[in-house]
A = this chain, B = another copy of it.
Amino acid sequence: MSLSPHARPAIAPGAVTSGPIRGSRKHYSSPPGWPGLQVPSRKVELSDPVAPSLQLYDASGPYTDPAYAIDLAWGLPPLREPWLAQRGLGLEQVIESAEDSDRAGPACPAPLVQRCGENGRPVTQLEFARLGVVTEEMAFAAHRENLGRSQAIQGAPQRRADGEDFGAAIPEWVTPEFVRDEIAAGRAILPANINHPELEPMVIGRNFLVKVNANIGNSAVSSGVAEEVEKLVWAIRWGADTVMDLSTGQDIHPIRSWIVRNSPVPIGTVPIYQALEVVGGDPLKLSWPVFRDILVEQARQGVDYFTIHAGVRLAHIPLTAGRVTGIVSRGGSIMARWCLEGMRENFLYTHFAEICEICRRYDVSLSLGDGLRPGSQADANDAAQFAELETLGELTRVAWTHGCQVMVEGPGHVPMHKIKANMDRQLEVCGGAPFYTLGPLTTDVAPGYDHITSGIGAAMIGWFGTAMLCYVTPKEHLGLPNRDDVKTGVITYRIAAHAADLAKGHPAARLRDDALSRARFEFRWEDQFHLALDPDTACAYHDETLPKAAHKQARFCSMCGPKFCSMKISQDLRDDVAAMQKGPCAEGLPVMEGVLHDLAE
C-alpha cells in the first residue's frame, strides 16, 4: 500500500488513551547477547531510597511511552520487519478482496510488506524451534518473562517463592533456548503472524507467566476507527496480553486492518463470524470455499491466531440434547446447525489439514475452539464436552504435523470441584499444548458479577496449569461491555493470573506483592498506589475519605484512624521487639528467651 501521507484519513492524535500509567515509566532493555532487541517494561521507582525499583511486565505497547508520537494511520513501528526480512519468506501481491470497494470504511493505509511462507522453508516459530533456531521473537519473549527474576534470585532465600506447580517446570531463569524448546515440544506458542511486524512478541505456555486475553468487538453504533482502536489500547493498558477481535458486521475487514496495524499484542479472531456475515447470516449457506477465502484474507492482514471450531463433530451434537443450556458457544452452535442440516461432518474438521496449511504459510497459531463447552454448572464435564476435547487432542497432533502452533480452548461454566479434571484431561489428551480457558464461572447465579464468578475459576485453573485466561466482564450474559467493564474484566483477570503465578511458585511473582506490602506497612501511600494493578482506582478510593495531599504522608488511613491503626501499633511493636532482643528485659522470661534465640539463628 503506497498511499501517500496526504491521502491518510485524519485521526486526531488524542483519539486513543496514551501516556504512562500512574507512577511508572516506560523502560526498554535488551536481553544479554541481543543488543538489537528493545524489550519494553514499566519501571516503578519507589519513594523509599532503600527499596529497589520494580520492572513490571508491560503489554501496553508504545501508547504508554510519552516519547512515542501516535499516528493510527501509520500504525505502530514494525519492529519485527528486519527479523522477518532475513527469513527468506515470499512476498505477496497486495490484493484487496472483491468486496473491499463495497465496504463502508477505508482500510488502514499503514505500509506493510506482505509476506507469505513457502514450502520447504521454515515459517512458523514451531518450525524454527524444531530446527534448533532461536528467533528474535523467542529472545524477546524470554526477556519479558525474566523481568524481576534477577532481583528475586538475588533476594534473601525466604523471599524466594515456594509453590505447588502440579507438574509444571518453571525455570529459575528463562533462556531464549528454553522458549525455543517449549515451543518445539508444543507446550508453548508464540503467536506472531509474519504479517504482523508491529507485534511485541510474547509466549503462552504453562511454564511461563499466566496470560490474559480480552475480547473486543465493534458495535453497530460504532462511531469510527479511533473508537475501535481505543478498545484495543484500553484493554492492553490494563494488562491484556492478547486481544480477540470478535467484531461482526459490514466493516469487519477494514476495521481489523486498523486494529492489527496498531496492535503491539497478538490479535485473535473467530473467522467463522466473518464467514457468516459473507453468507448473509445463514449458517446453512456456509461452505469450505467461503471459509477458506476468509482465512487467507485474515492471515494476510496479520491476525495472529484463529479460533477454529473443528471439534464440533456431527457425532458429538446429540450428546448435548439433554443439557440444561445446549450449545452456548457462538461458533459451536453455528457449526452444529450446519452439520445437522445435512447430517454431514463439520467442514472445519474435514478440511482441517488445509486450514493448517494456510495457517502455516503465515504462522497463524491455531486456537482449537471448544464449541461444546458447558454453559451452566449442570452441563460441566459432560460427555459432549469431553468428546470434543478428545477431538481437539487429535487435531492438536494434526496441527503439529503441519508445523503449526496450537493451543486448546476450554470452558466455560464449571463448579470448583470439577475444575481440576478439566486441566488434567486437557494435559492428558492434548499432549501438553497450552490450555486457554474462558473463566470458568463457578456459579450461574450472579449475572452482573460474572467477572467475579469466573475470576475464582480462572485463578484456580491458572494455578492448575492453564496458560492463558480469557476474561469475562461484568456484562457477560447481559449486554455489551463498556469501557469500565473492559477495565474491570482485565484487572480481575490480571488478579487471577497473578494469584496463579504466586501459587505455582513463579520465582519472581511475589516481588510485587512484597514491595506493595512493605509500602503498605510503612505508610508509603504513593508507592502502594504505584505498585497496584490499578493505581488510579487505588488512589481515588483513598482520596474519597482523605483527599488532602498531606494524608498521603499520614501514618494511618481512614479505615481505622490513627488510634486504631494496627500497622502503626505494629511498627511501634517492632521497635520494642528489637529492643528486647538487645536488652536484658527478656531474661526474666524463659519462654520468650527460647523464642528470641530461635529468631536470632
Contact = CB atoms under 8 A, between A and B. Distances in A.
Interface in A131-146: none
Given A443-B513, A453-B495, A570-B333, A521 B480 contact: no
A343 B589 contact: yes
A452 interface: yes
B580 A318 contact: yes
Interface in A50-64: none
Given A447-B528, A541-B448, A570 B328 contact: yes
A510 B569 contact: no
Interface stretch (A206-214, A357-365, A529-537): A529-537
**Most chain B CB inside 10 Å of its own CB: which residue of A159, A447, A492:** A447
Contacts of A283: 569
A416 B503 contact: yes
B448 A538 contact: yes
A150 interface: no
A356 interface: no
Given A378-B513, A378-B514, A599-B319, A327 B502 contact: no
Interface string A535-577: 0011011101110000000000111110111110111111011
Interface string A408-441: 0000010111000000000000000000000000
Given A248-B564, A318-B577, A480 B545 contact: yes
Given A495-B453, A592-B315, A326 B415 contact: no
A445 B415 contact: no
A189 interface: no
A475 B163 CA distance: 29
B376 A566 contact: no
14 contacts: A318-B592, A324-B518, A324-B521, A326-B574, A340-B576, A378-B513, A417-B463, A445-B533, A447-B529, A452-B495, A456-B459, A456-B495, A477-B559, A478-B542
A332 interface: yes
A495 to B, nearest CB: 5
Nearest to A565: B330
A327 B573 contact: yes
A479 B545 CA distance: 6
Nearest to A521: B325
A512 B159 CA distance: 44
A125 interface: no
A377 interface: yes
Given A541-B475, A566-B330, A498 B595 contact: no
A542 B480 CA distance: 9
Contacts of A27: none
A308 B571 CA distance: 22
A516 interface: yes
A240 interface: no
Pairs A-B, 6 closest by C-beta atoms = A376-B517, A326-B570, A416-B503, A333-B569, A448-B537, A333-B566
A337 interface: yes
A558 B318 contact: no
A205 interface: no
A466 interface: no
Contacts of A341: 576
A296 interface: no
Given A315-B595, A317-B577, A318-B592, A521 B474 contact: no
Contacts of A337: 569, 572-573, 576
Contacts of A151: none
A521 to B, nearest CB: 5
Contacts of A544: 475, 479, 482
B336 A569 contact: yes
Interface string A504-534: 1100001011101110110000001101111
B318 A595 contact: yes
Contact of A375 (B463, B517, B581, B591): B517
Given A248-B563, A317-B573, A416-B503, 10 more contacts: A315-B589, A333-B570, A378-B510, A443-B502, A445-B516, A445-B531, A449-B492, A456-B495, A456-B499, A475-B559
A592 B339 CA distance: 12
B455 A452 contact: yes
Nearest to A497: B443
Nearest to A315: B591
Contacts of A449: 491-492, 495, 533-534, 537
A451 B163 CA distance: 23
B502 A558 contact: no
Contact of A492 (B452, B496, B591): B452
A68 to B, nearest CB: 27
Contacts of A248: 560-561, 563-564
Given A480-B559, A592-B315, A599 B322 contact: yes
Nearest to A447: B538
A446 B534 contact: yes
A480 B417 CA distance: 35
A520 to B, nearest CB: 6
Contacts of A596: 318
A452 B592 CA distance: 38
A321 B498 contact: no
Contacts of A349: none
A573 B445 contact: no
Given A456-B459, A475-B541, A589-B314, A324 B514 contact: yes
A504 B591 CA distance: 42
